Amino acid sequence: MAIIVDNDTKLVVQGATGREGSFHTLRNRAYGTDVVAGVTPGKGGQDLEGIPIFDTVAEAVEETGANTSMVFVPARFAADAIYEDVDAGIETVICIAEGLPAHEMLRIFNYIKPRGITMLGPNCPGALSPGKANVGIIPAEIFREGRIGLVSRSGTLTYQIGHELTQLGLGNSTIVGIGGDPVVGSSFIDVLAKFEADEETEVVVLVGEIGGAEEEKAAEFIGSEMTKPVVGYIAGFSAPPGKTMGHAGAIISGTAGTAEGKKEALEAHGVRVGTTPTEAAQLAAEVAGAVRA
């Protein structure tokens, strides 16, 4: 079944004719994703190696039945692009663009949630359901099909742990990058709930980092709502307090948001937490083996 992206995904890419947008649009299509359209205002009627380009998302949806959008436009245009997606009837929005102001994302969040829109990002690598669809910038060649769900605030750590699982002979049902900004479209809890309902997922790996309280909230949800085992990894054990480490959301305030605090919160609810990506993958392999035994 997979979550967020699958064989039923019909993708429209906003910014498909730009340098980065075209590169990843074609990579997504080469993987097998059904890329049905691109959108670049003023370039309607053109095509990108056979992918039709439209002036608006509404036109693309009407002509192609697109149900998922990848936002690959500069940050100053990204908010308008997201609103355009929602108003055109897009069901899933994956915003790769970074640099959106937090106050603008708050408006977007309050716009999409009542409408039931699934959104990843901004500042995220996207979602990959191996063997089905890749929407974003995830290097799909290092992953394989399997039954381990993976959700992360970090792109590169997602890649590393996924690759470690591949080397252990395991695979993933879906890999989800929620984004590293302070305000994003989907929380850990949103994605964990989808994995809990997904019959193709047996084990979930949660990759967090310092800053905020999302991992602590996820720990409470895991303890009260999830029946599937979860393995964790928290980046930032050696990060100095008060420093932004990589992502805009990765900042510690006082004693809140530390790696040790997040680890303790997860472990209190039965989540085994690795101290390195390799250890986290090994723990996931152990748990997966126990589930199948």
Which tokens belong to 186? Answer: 């989907």
Q: What angle do CA 86, 154, 180 make, to 5 degrees?
A: 50
Residue type, 28: N
Choice among 22-26, 69-73, 159-163 with the minimum mean pLDDT: 159-163
Residue 163 known to be catalytic:
no
Answer yes or no: is pLDDT of 227 > 60.
yes
Give the model confidence (pLDDT) of 172-204 as tens digits: 999 999 998 889 999 999 999 999 999 999 999
Give the model confidence (pLDDT) of 128-153 as tens digits: 999 999 999 999 999 999 999 999 99
User: How far is it, in rounded angstroms, from Cα 132 to Cα 216?
Assistant: 32
Beta bridge partners of 150: 175, 205
Burial of 199 (0-12, 13-18, 19+ CB in 10 A): exposed
At 236 the pLDDT is 72
The one catalytic residue among 24, 103, 247, 269:
247
Spell out the domains of the chain, with CATH numbers in brackets.
Answer: 1-123 (3.40.50.720), 143-293 (3.40.50.261)
Which tokens belong to 100? Answer: 């959106």
Tell which residue, 31, 3, 1, has the closest CA to residue 174.
3
Tell which residue, 164, 274, 165, 259, has the closest CA to residue 212.
259
The answer to whether residues 117 and 145 touch, using CB atoms and an 8 Å cutoff, is no
User: How far is it, in rounded angstroms, from Cα 251 to Cα 254?
Assistant: 10
This prediction's pTM: 0.93
Q: Quickly list H helices, 32-182.
A: 57-64, 75-87, 102-112, 155-167
Give the model confidence (pLDDT) of 68-80 as tens digits: 999 999 999 999 9
